[in-house]
């Protein structure tokens, strides 16, 4: 079945350092979405990338979708304590029958050392 792998599993950074998480799929994705889950909270939608090679920015966050639409990355510049949480990518697969399935990556838990 479709799998979405995400690395690293954990990342500890000093406040002010940059952070990157990577997502890889075994098959081509229709789109990729990114979510953030704060400790004790639920996933919150951040962004969706649809086009091959697409790059989107949200303040200090930069999201990229690979040319082959099989990989993606999230980069945070100059991390702040508010960035703490687990970041999930989620790949959308569409079957030949048109059924959609959003498959989540394993997540990267980011902790910030003040």
27 binds another protein (CB under 8 A): no
With a CB cutoff of 8 Å and minimum separation 6, the contacts of 99 are: none
- Listed ranges 14-22, 43-51, 63-71, 74-82: which one lies at the site for another protein (CB under 8 A): 43-51
Instruction: Please calculate the CA angle 53-57-60 and round it to the nearest 5 degrees.
Output: 135
105 binds another protein (CB under 8 A): yes
Q: Which residue number, 14 or 96, has a Cβ lying nearer to another protein?
A: 96
In angstroms, rounded to a whole number, what is the distance separating the alpha carbons of residues 42 and 80?
Answer: 20
List residues binding another protein (CB under 8 A): 1, 30-31, 33, 35, 41-48, 50, 88, 90, 92, 94, 99-107
């Amino acid at each position: 079945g479709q799998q979405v792998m995400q690395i690293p599993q954990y990342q500890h950074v000093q406040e002010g350092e940059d952070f990157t998480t990577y997502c890889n799929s075994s098959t081509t994705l229709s789109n990729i979405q990114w979510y953030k889950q704060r400790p004790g909270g639920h996933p919150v939608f951040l962004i969706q990338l649809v086009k091959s090679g697409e790059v989107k920015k949200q303040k200090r966050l930069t999201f990229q979708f690979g040319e082959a639409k099989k990989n993606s990355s999230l980069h945070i510049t100059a991390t702040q304590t508010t960035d703490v949480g687990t970041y999930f990518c989620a790949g959308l697969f569409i079957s030949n029958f048109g059924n959609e399935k959003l498959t989540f990556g394993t997540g990267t838990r980011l902790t910030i050392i003040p």
